[in-house]
Chain A
């Protein structure tokens, strides 16, 4: 894919965090005592480590990371919708070790709830509120869990994959009965115009159609004969031309 000769690229040796990551992976081993099972640090793209933690142990692990390993800054909390489950992803930074660490917590889709880490890092306050706002994930123990960016009376959680792009509330009864004249344009399509205008949308057979669907008179009973009559009239030269 790369058309550039290797010599013209930046030196690849500059981006090596292999030793630091190995040291961090060793330091992460005591987490096994907190969670009760071994921790498997995964090497992520971009040269940093990622671990996965049970949601019941999250705060204890975070406290250990902050106090013992010096991860004193919480950079980012992201919610992720993976269709069968939700995730919260925490990105931590250590200013002393100059390292980045990712923690991932899996949550159920039905009852997404995870302990809040505000007691560990105060910056989690707004970040968790935003995640709650967008994904509906409840952070238990959060001091002030309200909507952050959206209105307080907003319904639904917009970044879920199940959230509809076009909200259903837009389709009020008044706007469904679209004036067919708006939908029809052009000389050819306007030949059956009077039938379309006479048609009462929402009554009789047309009820089954989605309201607002332009039918151009095809659903109108007996339209075919009239249409053929129209065609035969059209074949004759109009008087006076």
Chain B
């Protein structure tokens, strides 16, 4: 791979005099692409003045696989599997977005049971994704225990998915018009038991991180975004809600079973890293509540509509968006009436959310860059697609 030249305002060698006569020199620092705190292959070209970050240029594309081009060359049912790889920490949500876009174009309404299965799996996936975000965030800030506890709980969700769809990560569970399998025997009981255990574990995790003095001092007041800036930069998801904007697609533009199940959006006003962490913690609790509701209300009936394998949606275009664990996950789908999509554009929340990083880190210390980047919760698979 050809190395990209660092671009930014920082000129190496430019020096400035402080009042004491001590000379400090601007320095260009490459953080990544292989760096444990960048959660993948993200490269940040930082311009440092001493310890202070004066500019930051994210360089992305190291994980580009051309998913949009791949989708154009796969039958629609075959493309669902490739959506798993976009945001590999929440494959269920990606599949729901793609299947939902096709259904919206076809005017197809999946059966009620399928919609509730989707709600249940989506909320479990959201918990899993937030657990990774919180666990690795603790790891970034020097706390080692949270990541072990969070991954232990996530393992329970992955085992549930394995029983459901046959694989832990790239589940390939959703279908246009429904889902692949019904629950195996005893799955819902297992899921309920898991949720009870998770609730206890979350209280422990909360005690471990939320009141921690080191954790609070590293996150409170760091990486502040105000409301106007957050909206102008198109931020969505927990990062937007942590800035005090009441915006959640599950509430404001409900889709699928969220039309029947009311969601309490979790909002914090502070707009700093700690608020983003708190929104994720509260959303896990909220997701547990939604999972219980879905299990209680789980209707009977078929799990899918009978659709042909060689699916040919009508000519037309549509934009379908849902609230992923990271924000608005949109699919802009164009069909020419054929078996293959003419165009399938993914609007990845991580890609849009990452854009504000230079604004956030400017003026902070070098070590705060790690805290701010972790609080955005990006997945490079979705940034680069």
Within the complex, the shortest CB–CB distance from A8 to chain B, in Å, comes to: 5
Q: Is the beta-carbon distance between B111 and A125 smaller than 8 angstroms? A: no
| Segment with Cβ contacts to A, from B32-40, B254-262, B264-272, B275-283 | B254-262
Q: Which residues of B are found within 8 Å of A100, using beta-carbon distances?
A: 253, 319, 321
Interface residues of A in 98-138 (CB under 8 A from B): 98, 100, 102, 121-123, 125-127, 130, 134
Q: Is the beta-carbon distance between B330 and A9 smaller than 8 angstroms? A: no
Within the complex, the shortest CB–CB distance from B351 to chain A, in Å, comes to: 7
CA A2 – CA B301 in complex, angstroms?
A: 13
The answer, among A46, A125, A148, A165, for a CB contact under 8 Å with B318, is A46
Within the complex, the shortest CB–CB distance from B60 to chain A, in Å, comes to: 7
| Segment with Cβ contacts to A, from B101-109, B124-132, B143-151 | B101-109
Q: Is the beta-carbon distance between B66 and A151 smaller than 8 angstroms? A: no
B-contact 0/1 string along A78-99, CB 8 Å cutoff: 1011000000010100010010
CA A146 – CA B59 in complex, angstroms?
A: 11
Q: Cβ of A75 < 8 Å from any Cβ of B?
A: yes
Chain B, interface residues (CB within 8 Å), range: 35 or more
Residue of A nearest to B256 (CB): A10
Assuming the A-B contacts A75-B234, A123-B352, are A14 and B259 also in contact, with contact meaning beta carbons closer than 8 angstroms in the complex?
yes
The answer, among A2, A9, A127, A151, for a CB contact under 8 Å with B2, is A151
Residue of B nearest to A146 (CB): B7
Q: Cβ of B75 < 8 Å from any Cβ of A?
A: no
Q: Which residues of B are found within 8 Å of A172, using beta-carbon distances?
A: none
Q: Which residues of B are found within 8 Å of A8, using beta-carbon distances?
A: 111-113, 299, 301
The answer, among B5, B73, B319, B354, for a CB contact under 8 Å with A44, is B319
| Segment with Cβ contacts to B, from A51-59, A152-160, A222-230 | A152-160
Q: Is the beta-carbon distance between B105 and A10 smaller than 8 angstroms? A: no
Q: Which residues of A are found within 8 Å of B328, using beta-carbon distances?
A: 75
CA A98 – CA B265 in complex, angstroms?
A: 15
Within the complex, the shortest CB–CB distance from B310 to chain A, in Å, comes to: 14
Q: Cβ of A4 < 8 Å from any Cβ of B?
A: yes
Q: Which residues of A are found within 8 Å of B5, using beta-carbon distances?
A: 152
Interface residues of B in 298-330 (CB under 8 A from A): 299, 301-302, 305-307, 316-321, 328, 330
Q: Is the beta-carbon distance between A121 and B232 smaller than 8 angstroms? A: yes
Q: Is the beta-carbon distance between A73 and B104 smaller than 8 angstroms? A: no
The answer, among B1, B232, B321, for a CB contact under 8 Å with A123, is B232
A-contact 0/1 string along B80-116, CB 8 Å cutoff: 0000000000000000000000001101110111010
> Which chain B residues have a beta carbon within 8 Å of chain A's beta carbons?
1-2, 4-5, 7, 60-61, 64, 66, 68-69, 72-73, 104-105, 107-109, 111-113, 115, 231-234, 245, 247, 252-254, 256-257, 259-260, 299, 301-302, 305-307, 316-321, 328, 330, 332, 334, 342-343, 345, 347, 351-352, 354-355, 384-385
Q: What 14 additional pairs, Cβ within 8 angstroms, besides A2-B305, A4-B301, A78-B345? A: A1-B306, A4-B302, A8-B111, A8-B113, A10-B256, A74-B234, A76-B330, A78-B332, A80-B343, A95-B231, A95-B245, A95-B247, A102-B319, A125-B355
The 8 closest A-B pairs by CB, nearest first: A123-B234, A149-B61, A78-B345, A14-B259, A76-B347, A4-B111, A45-B318, A149-B64
